[in-house]
Amino acid sequence: FKAYQKEDIITQYVTIKHHENKSIKIENIASGYLNLHADHYYLSHFAGAWANEMLLEEELLTHGIKSIESTKGVRTAQTENSSFLISIDKKADEYSGEVYAGALAWSGNYKLSFQVSETGNLDIVVGMNPFASSFILEPGEEIKTPEIIWSYSAIGKNRISQNFHNWSRRYALAHGNDLRPIVLNSWEGVYMNFDEKDILSLIDDAANFGVELFVLDDGWFGDKYPRDKADSGLGDWVVNKKKLPHGIGYLADYAVNKGVRFGIWIEPEMVNPRSVLAEKYPEWIVKTDKYTPYVERNQWLLDLSNPDVQHFVEETFDKVVSMSPNISYIKWDANRHVDNFGSEYLSKENQTHFWIDYTKGLYSVYERIRAKHPDVLIQLCSSGGGRLDFGALKYHDEFWASDNTNSLDRIFIQYSTNLFFPAKATAAHVSTTPNHQTGMMAPLKFRFDVAMTGRLGMELQPKDLTGDELPFAEQAIKNYKRIRPIVQLGDLYRLKSPYDGTGWASHMYISKDKKESVFFAYSLKYHGRTTFFETRLKGLDPAKMYKITELNKAGNSTFYGDGQVFPGDYLMKAGISLTIGNTYESTVLLITEQ
């Protein structure tokens, strides 16, 4: 056990050290166990799919075993997540009641088991999934399980979130105390259909718009098999000179000279069948015996249990970063899971080592990369939120919660995600309308107001803005820079959940010294003319006086007290009301001590 007293976090893991004369076989080994006794237990967990990740579900546990598990090998958090809450005797409340929480720091297969026994006890067992994972331990060897991170609150689940956020910023997030830059990503603007002129134009737009970092997404590489579509070139990390005749270094230097940092996309664990890499190293492909490996998303998976593949992935990162000293950000993606598993590197007797060795091989690569490139920002992306866990996050600066950038869906996804994972690491982008994933349309203000609750970024291209949208967006970016320290380093207080069925959502962030706060509220449906949004604020100093200023206004103020000063005690006991009754109406308030 490790205790982090300041953050109210305890981590638990198991190590087996083998000092006998013969090998032993480990069939099942868990990271942690917790036994509770109460009248009722409510489990909050997460489910979903691509573009719909991390959706909150809560249920009363009854007798028997409730099991949540993944056997995908990669993208193991795509449809479930290895974090959970247990609320005692009632459904989880934000600010009252006993709540236990756990999150497994592991990016491979996992299994969470919850058993209400005949005695009324709840037994919780958490760890790596034993599915096809018998592990032979030779004399002198040892095996260590991933950590399970535990926390407890006697005052509701909001304190659980604050505990995990504070702990993560310090222990499970790269550069946890640094502010994250505002990003413009090329993906939804040009996809793979671009040339050098297009990218230079996007960099110009980013610089003129106040964006701080430009990211060149997929499609920049491939020689014999150019990466013009998703079915070719993956694995061949050489610049496509037809698209980018002057290379990546030219683009990176151009961006930095414009005052914009430069980043680039990679997916080094995967390979297209149509690639030089697949032709040269067929033994590196994950597959069962001599059977043709299954193609998913036009690609195969490289075998990271193999040290040669680990070296290749590490070398790929080094090679890409070395294309320019001005590359300061890497978007690391992983877009498929494991099918028909098998390894030509592992012996016949040790094929079941694959599931554990793949993830440990990945972590080994991460560790070596971080040792050599400590200052590079790295985004954790896996077809959206497919690798969202504290095992991988500690090597990264942020994560991509979902490929779904639709603002309405993101309210639900980000609410659940931020139950455990900090807002500063949650990449939240403003995209165009109609949204490319859902076809839904929303006002620009609403899209910005949602994205500003995490690490603000843009898929929307500035050239697509017209009329009053351009000055609004420019001002919204300035406003985010003003509130960024509060959002990224402050404490989260949830006020209204989008899951409670009222059609409202609201939360706020408060600086550690309680001198500043920023408040967000959203109307998710039409509420009628006579219904108003009302809520009491949380976490302020009752003895302080606070001025409230509405940000991102698109017309008249939605708060009657815009520009006025109120006692903290009044704001937390009497509360505030807003005129946001229509679908897609929203409010952002800056609250500052006077």
Residues known to be catalytic: 333, 403
HSE toward the beta carbon, residue 594, CA cutoff 13 A: 13
Give me the residue label for tokens 């919780």. 124
Q: What are the tokens at 483?
A: 């509130």
Q: What are the tokens at 285?
A: 């492909």
**DSSP category for residue 544:** S
Measured distance CA(233)–CA(223) in Å, rounded: 7
Measured distance CA(430)–CA(457) in Å, rounded: 6
Question: Using omega within 30 degrees of 0 as the cis cutoff, is the peptide bond preceding 282 cis?
Answer: no
Give me the residue label for tokens 């500052």. 592
Work out the angle at residue 550's Cα, subtended by the Cα atoms of residues 546 and 554, and round it to the nearest 5 degrees: 175
Kindly list the distances between the CA atom of residue 66 and the CA atoms of 116, 119, 420, in Å, as whole numbers in the listed order: 9, 17, 21
List residues bridging with 88 in a β-sheet: 41
String of DSSP letters for 72-134: -SSSTTSSB-SEEEEEESS---SSSB-EEEEEE--SS-EEEEEEE-TTSEEEEEEEE--TT--
Measured distance CA(396)–CA(330) in Å, rounded: 10
Measured distance CA(560)–CA(17) in Å, rounded: 65
**DSSP category for residue 382:** B
